[in-house]
A and B are shown apart, each in its own frame.
Chain A
Amino acid sequence: MDTYNVNEKGYYGEFGGAYIPEMLYPNVEELRQQYLSIMNEDSFKEEFNQLLKDYVGRPSPLYFAKRLSEKHGAKIYLKREDLNHTGAHKINNTIGQILMAKKLGKKRIIAETGAGQHGVATATVCALMGIDCVVYMGEIDIARQSPNVARMKMLGAEVRPALSGSRTLKDATNEAIRDWINNPVDTHYIIGSAIGPHPYPDMVTRFQSIISEEIKWQLQEKEGRQNPDYVVACIGGGSNAAGTYYHFLDDEKVGIIAVEAAGKGIDSGESAATSVLGKEGIIHGCKTLLMQTPDGQITEPYSISAGLDYPGVGPMHAHLYNSGRGEFFSVTDNDAMKAGLELCKTEGIIPAIESSHALAIFNHKKFNQNDVVVISLSGRGDKDLNTYIDYFDL
């Protein structure tokens, strides 16, 4: 049977692998050799599940959005990752990785962050465990996302500005990688998305796969069936999407829908629609689709949503795109903002702008009345209030 999951060499089809400098090899290799056996230890599973339940607040509800369903003519369920502690799916992964770091005997944590959500989720679990935490954040993002910078500081993390290159997420990732090269023994790098060298995309996906695991039994309770007709998620690097798809990857009766950020339009020069605008290449240790110049220099993407403007995409998603298993859409800033406001008014839920991109699917695809469509509501909109205020002139 074809599988859309990772193979033993760390590839999804032709994408993935570990294209890393030798300086990183011992760290990445240690993780590669141990991550699966650690994740399978009973003590690990127990602590992970306990924290997800008591600290994160899982299971997150699978909510039947009645008014939205009536409006768009489908049975729409929202997977409420926005209700997690810290306000997004990111914490599922950071809980898993902090426990992994402890098992590996690491004493110090580093992370990258763009909008600050992953930085906050990392600072949170480091505070929980009493471990030192350094978060790299592009100098430009620090200026744009000051509330999240303050949150990380309150949680005891040190926020270091990335001053190189374009001074945004990709440069923060470069700086975190450089820190890891400089601190090869005591430090664990908590990557925030399903990107990076193998085994990161698979490890992050497995920690996020709790999303689709819960969808299956929750849907069984509500609809008497485990599989929806479609699962829909927004994709930047693609960790919430990877977790939402995971248990449905190889069941082709479940349609997989990915929504990327078109920014101001695919052809505007200000976009983050990697599957359309990207070409195969290497970014942050991973072969995937990425936005670049014809000469192979990585370019800076744009989206109104700071969580979606990554120039690459996780290797799982690159493979879902190339193989045709996933159906990819790109949604502009305007479409996403409208869909976000629509959710506020029809369901009383203010979504993160990332998640609003997934909600805009109904302007791009027509579903049948009886189709069960599960949308990952990956985060809440509190952090985006300023953007909403400016955009709608509230």
Chain B
Amino acid sequence: MNRISKKLEENKKLLSIYFTAGYPAIEDTVPVIEALQDSGVDMLEIGLPFSDPLADGPTIQASSTQALKNGMTTEKLFQQLKDIRKTVHIPLIIMGYFNPILQYGVEAFCQKCSDIGIDGLIIPDLPVDVYHEQYQAIFEKHGLINVFLITPQTSEARIRFIDSVSNGFIYMVSSASVTGAKSNFGDAQSEYFERIANMNLKAPQIVGFGISNAETFKAATTHAKGAIIGSAFIKMIQEKGIKGIDAFVKGIQ
């Protein structure tokens, strides 16, 4: 059974952390993953940096630019991760834009992920329709879970379609925005979280965008299965480095 599916069955609210591979320094990828696991994080999204991350706010853009300057490439990331399953047992997801994956070759990319022990992918600019028509069979052949986003503007019919294609969880974007930390959620978010919860979807939902601390984590997971923190984590690691990870994670859960 895929590690993500198993994790989703656990009777707890899940904390997932996004970080950019090769940031702050090129060889930080594996130490960051290990430190996050040690601090009790449930699941990780490893960001494959892209030159033009158009769904991301300034924090993740800047970390991506830096990671590319550091020399991060798709091949380099796979090399860094080749022995990751010797020490890391939590679910690992690669989050990246479609063009680098297309250049690597979708089939080759999926094969490599499966060899390494990557459990799933999040590709924000690969729409569910294109995935369903062209790539779903390849992903499933390699045992990969593909995660789709929904937003407050996504129609009910489309959410139902996304639910039917999802084989893991649904990434629920908290508000109409690019990625970035917020200090709290308003009434509009609460209504949206409730509306989605009442749809009784097959796939559990994990909330992302705008989660930054214990308060927003709690608000996001009142109805949802878990939450993802990205920009706030990147800001922290930029300031404090790997040694700041444990205190950051313990401050959330």
Interface members, chain A 9-30 (any B CB < 8 Å):
17-23, 25-26
Which residues of A (131-183) have their CB < 8 Å from a CB of B? 164-165, 170-171, 174, 177-178, 181-183
Chain A proximity of B41: nearest CB distance (Å): 25
- How far does the alpha carbon of A174 sit from the alpha carbon of B58 in the complex, in Å? 11
Measured CA separation A22–B173 after assembly (Å)? 9
The interface stretch among A64-72, A216-224, A291-299, A315-323 is A291-299
Within 7-60 of B, Cβ neighbours of A (below 8 Å) are at: 50-55, 57-58
Q: Which residues from A are CB-within-8-Å of B128?
A: 22
Sample of 20 A–B contacts (CB below 8 Å)? A18-B127, A21-B149, A22-B149, A22-B150, A23-B173, A23-B176, A26-B154, A170-B52, A174-B54, A182-B176, A182-B177, A182-B178, A184-B151, A185-B176, A279-B103, A294-B103, A295-B74, A295-B75, A295-B104, A297-B50
Nearest chain A residue, comparing its CB with the CB of B124: A21
Given contacts A282-B125, A283-B52, A298-B51, A19 and B130 within 8 Å (CB-CB):
yes
Complex CA–CA separation, A183 to B175 (angstroms): 10
- Could you tell me if A26 and B155 are in contact, using CB atoms closer than 8 angstroms? yes
Interface size class of B (residues with CB under 8 A): 35 or more
On whether the beta carbons of B177 and A296 are closer than 8 Å, the reply is: no
Establish whether residues A19 and B125, one from each chain, have CB atoms under 8 Å apart when the complex forms: yes
User: Measured between alpha carbons, how far is A292 from B52 in the docked complex, in Å?
Assistant: 11
Is A265 interfacial (CB 8 A cutoff)? no
Determine the chain A residues whose CB is within 8 A of the CB of B178 once the complex forms: 23, 178, 181-182
Q: Within the assembled complex, what's the spacing in Å between the Cα atoms of A149 and B104?
A: 40
The A-contacting residues of B in range 50-109, CB under 8 angstroms, are 50-55, 57-58, 61-62, 65, 68, 73-75, 97-104
> Cβ of A285 < 8 Å from any Cβ of B?
yes
User: Which of B51, B99, B158: most chain A Cβ within 10 A?
Assistant: B51
A281 contacts B by Cβ under 8 Å: yes
Q: A297 vs B151: C-alpha distance in the bound complex, in angstroms?
A: 27
A residues at B contact (CB < 8 Å): 17-23, 25-26, 164-165, 170-171, 174, 177-178, 181-185, 279-285, 292, 294-299
Q: B200 an interface residue at 8 Å Cβ cutoff?
A: no
Give bound CA distance, A285 to B99, whole Å: 10
From known contacts A19-B130, A164-B65, infer whether A25 and B154 are also in contact, taking CB-CB under 8 Å.
yes
Evaluate contact between A21 and B55: CB separation under 8 angstroms: yes
Residues of B within 8 A of A18 (CB): 127
- How far is A183 from B51 in the complex, measured between Cα atoms in Å? 23
Does B126 belong to the interface (CB within 8 Å)? yes
CB distance from A112 to the nearest CB of B (A): 12
Cβ–Cβ contact B177 & A177, under 8 A: no
CB of A282 within 8 A of CB of B51, answer: no
A20-B125 contact, Cβ under 8 Å, with A282-B102, A292-B103, A298-B51: yes
A184 CB, nearest partner CB in chain B, Å: 5
Residue among B104, B124, B149, B158 making CB contact with A296, cutoff 8 Å = B104
| A-B residue pairs, 10 tightest by C-beta | A296-B103, A296-B100, A22-B149, A297-B51, A21-B55, A26-B153, A21-B124, A282-B99, A296-B99, A295-B73
